[in-house]
């Protein structure tokens, strides 16, 4: 129990999977969260074969019962949580439709996972994080959530209006600031991470970053020292405009 305990949601593939690997390589016990238990077990087995201390845990962030059951399991087996990486996310926008044409169903499903699921997971695990000597919450955001950049012609994302996804990440940023303020006098730090444009299923073939580099920001924020930042939005240590 001298090892730190980390939970990563949506960790059976992509950036979440690589984040699990890199944290486990730092001698952290990693709970690899996946909504599909079989996929979670398969992913965890791959990392275990590398000699890493990784355990699958079933958690669907869009299902409050699933979140509650996962929190009960972590409390029973470990008694605390040191790191929560809210990595699970989805992009459902129809790229053939304009901002005003995206269906309400798309908006609701996107927010259910990217925002409400993130909040529900954080609320469920916060009591366990309070038992940590140095709790860390990492909220996976995106540069596409930067309102400043979206309002600035010529910015890196000005022409990328995937509306539901973008706005959900803006809301994640806002929630990060609110929660960081609440916890500013505690041992818990809360930050938002932009992983970069990464070669994942969501990032697509044109992405410029490899997955190992895409996980670096999450890992850095998950392992901050006590004098590290709180309530920031960063990519590889560099701030991003809100």
- Beta-bridged to residue 203, according to DSSP, are none
Identify whether the C-beta of residue 91 lies closer than 8 Å to the C-beta of residue 110.
yes
**What is residue 173's DSSP assignment?**
H
With both helix axes pointing from N to C terminus, report the angle between 118-129 and 64-78 in degrees, rounded to the nearest 10.
20
Tell me if residue 39 falls in helix, strand or coil.
helix
Cβ neighbours of residue 40 closer than 8 Å, sequence gap 6 or more: 11, 12, 32, 33, 34, 56, 57, 58
The structure tokens 């029973």 sit at: 76
Measure the CA–CA gap between 239 and 209, rounded to whole angstroms: 18
Tell me if residue 70 falls in helix, strand or coil.
helix
Q: State whether the Cα torsion 80-86-87-88 is positive or negative.
A: positive
Catalytic residue check, 169: yes
The structure tokens 């901002």 sit at: 99
Catalytic member of 169, 175, 189, 199: 169
Catalytic member of 4, 39, 97, 165: 165
**Looking at the annotation, which residues are catalytic?**
165, 169
């Amino acid at each position: 129990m001298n090892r730190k305990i980390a939970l990563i949601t949506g960790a059976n593939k992509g950036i979440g999977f690589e984040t699990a690997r890199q944290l486990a390589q730092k001698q952290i016990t990693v709970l690899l969260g996946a909504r599909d238990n079989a996929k979670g077990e398969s992913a965890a087995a791959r990392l275990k074969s590398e000699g890493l201390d990784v355990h699958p845990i079933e958690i669907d962030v869009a299902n409050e019962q699933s979140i509650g059951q996962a929190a009960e399991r972590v409390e029973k087996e470990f008694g605390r949580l040191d790191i929560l990486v809210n990595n699970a996310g989805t992009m459902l926008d129809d790229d053939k439709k304009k901002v005003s044409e995206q269906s309400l169903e798309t908006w609701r499903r996107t927010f259910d996972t990217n925002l409400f699921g993130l909040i529900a997971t954080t609320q469920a695990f916060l009591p366990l994080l309070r038992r940590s000597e140095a709790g860390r919450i990492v909220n996976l955001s995106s540069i596409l959530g930067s309102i400043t950049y979206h309002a600035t012609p010529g910015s890196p994302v000005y022409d990328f209006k995937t509306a539901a996804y973008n706005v959900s990440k803006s809301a994640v940023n806002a929630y990060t600031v609110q929660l960081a303020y609440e916890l500013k006098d505690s041992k818990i730090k809360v930050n938002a991470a932009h992983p970069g444009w990464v070669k994942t299923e969501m990032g697509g073939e044109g992405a410029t970053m490899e997955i190992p580099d895409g996980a670096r920001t999450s890992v850095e924020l998950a392992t901050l020292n006590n004098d590290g930042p709180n309530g920031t939005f960063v990519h590889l240590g560099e701030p991003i405009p809100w």
